[in-house]
Amino acid sequence: MSNLDRQPALSTCGGRGFVVAEPVRELLSPRTVTLGESTEVRRLLPNLGRRMVGAWCFVDHYGPDDIADEPGMAVAPHPHSGLQTVSWLHEGEVLHRDSVGSLATIRPRELGLMTSGRGISHSEESPRPHARFLHGAQLWVALPDAHRDVDPHFQHHADLPQVSAPGLTATVILGTLDTATSPGTAYSPIVGADLALAAGTETRLPLNPDFEYAVLSMSGEAHVDGVPLLPGAMLYLGCGRTDLPLRAISDAGLMLLGGEPFEEEIVMFWNWIGRSQEDIAQAREDWMNGSRFGDVKGYDGPPIPAPELPPTRLKPRGRTR
């Protein structure tokens, strides 16, 4: 799933100007966006008040949606460059096709990791027939400059390592948590983990004080460092933490996102990440003229045309705390 906004903003993200070097509790409210024919998502990143968390630069939460009598997800072929996409499901399935020939059905708590590098295109759709409910998250990771032109590739990992404690199971999606490391390829110090909490659980999750963190609520009700978090909300936690208090009011599902603050400034527009507006303009031209991003075979429908670039140029970012 991707950014299908037909009037996306051209925005600068990254750099340390927005990183909070101490523990904080900053609640982020989502923005509702419609994708494809029938999927509505809650967009948490980029957010008006928070652009990135480590290398994580885009977070959508969707569902649970009853798609028994609906086509479900239907995202036609579209391009990416300069990033990785992370597909993560709690319910349902997503059929992934891409221009390097990958074909995979992603199921709950399996990692679908697409590294776009210099350029790839892909489609995402609910299989036919498909499960009744669709619930998951789509996330992007910005590639550092040294790796943003790597060869595009796709990884599908059905078995991921876990860290457990009484009432808690943490599945490591990307990077390392405690003693467990995901098999997914990471290009910067990062962590992504799915946290399943049983009702009544009180525990503390070990963290790296050099990382900045955020927690996305997927389901149920939990208190994260004392802050109630309901589904579709995200809590930014800053840096400097060695552990994170968690308390589950009901059975709850959370996603922990973190990493070293991303020092480079990046430019995001639609489904591309570059380092300048010229990078983005070139990516748009390459997509529209049919070069660089390849073709997706097997999807029933035309690719998505790129939106127009805004006429105004980027302004320098301000600095906060």
Candidates 48, 47, 159; CA nearest to 110 is 159
Residue 320 has pLDDT above 50, yes or no: no
User: Residue 39: which H helix or E strand, with range?
Assistant: strand 39-45
Reported as a pLDDT band with limits 50, 70 and 90, residue 35 is: low
Q: How far apart are CA 281 and CA 315, in angstroms?
A: 16
* pLDDT, tens only, 41-71: 899 999 877 889 999 999 999 999 999 999 8
Q: What is residue 2's predicted lDDT score, i.e. its pLDDT?
A: 58
> With 0-12 CB in 10 A as exposed, 13-18 as middle and 19+ as buried, what is 32?
exposed
List, for residues 101-110, the tens digit of each pLDDT value.
999 999 999 9
Average pLDDT, the chain: 92
Length of the chain: 321
Q: Please report the pLDDT score of residue 40 as a whole number.
A: 79
The fraction of the chain above a pLDDT of 70, given in percent, is 91
pTM here is 0.93
Rounded to whole angstroms, how far apart are CA atoms 297 and 295?
6
DSSP string for 117-161: TT-EEEEEE--SS--SEEEEEEEEEEPPGGGTTSPPEEEEES---
Tell me the pLDDT tens digit for each residue of 186-242. 999 999 999 999 999 999 999 999 999 999 999 999 999 999 999 999 999 999 999
Confidence class of residue 318 from pLDDT cuts 50, 70 and 90?
very low
Rounded Cα gap, residues 65 and 167, in angstroms: 27
Contact between 46 and 273 under an 8 Å Cβ cutoff? The reply is no
Q: What is the pLDDT of residue 321?
A: 37
Q: How confident is the model at residue 315 (pLDDT cuts 50, 70, 90)?
A: low
Q: In terms of pLDDT, which residue wins out, 317 or 153?
A: 153
For residue 117, what pLDDT band results from cuts at 50, 70 and 90? very high
Cis previous bond, 127, omega within 30: no
